[in-house]
Amino acid sequence: MKNIYKIDSYLKMQNSLLDALKRRLGVQSDAQLARLLGLTRTPLHQVRHGRSRLGLATRLRILDLLAYQGRTDWTSRLEVEALIAALQEAEGEDLLPPTPPQRQKRTPGPEGRLLDLVQASGGFATDADLANFLGIARESVVNARAGRTTLGPRPRLRILNHIEPFDLADLEHRLESDEALLDVLAGYIPDSQKIAIS
């Protein structure tokens, strides 16, 4: 019986979160809300019925819309190219020497370049040290460097915090907890700044 109550409580929290978001943004329907979040209506329907949860990228988009911590660009700041540019601006263009020919195969794209820059900037001697800083497995660093995978939002948030310090613990808490995200909704977006939906 406990599981039924947990599921019911979870559904109520998810629905409260979506309804509060609709009120704060001044939208009437889930379809309008989905459009603002860059989704189709189907994912919101799945969230409402307990078959899914809002993903980290969607939660970051919500925080963008709420101008959380005074920023409306969380999503764009976490793009690999934006992180590379910010790191080079903060540390100087010559942070890294040119990639030696034997490593060019290992570092094919922007993800590898970003990892190399973070490793040099943070003074991490090994991939294991870098992985520990990013909160991921060493294999994830190796695979991202080789172009077989990409870094998710969490390691990118840690990189952004390394470049431009902010309250990372609070932001991660808001991204993980439905209750904490609902608390953010309670205080953001005054009526005068509601987004109009066409």
Among 14-18, 29-33, 67-71, the range with the most confident prediction by mean pLDDT is: 29-33
Do both 45 and 87 map to the same domain? no
Do both 106 and 154 map to the same domain? yes
Q: Is the pLDDT of residue 115 over 60?
A: yes
Q: Is the pLDDT of residue 117 over 80?
A: yes
On the CB side of 192, how many CA atoms lie within 13 Å of its CA? 0
Q: pLDDT for 37-85, tens place per residue?
A: 999 999 999 999 888 889 999 999 999 988 888 888 999 999 999 999 9
Does some domain include residue 23?
yes
Range of the domain at 31: 2-54+174-193
Q: Is the pLDDT of residue 1 over 50?
A: no
What average pLDDT does this structure show over 4-19? 76
Q: pTM of the entire structure?
A: 0.80
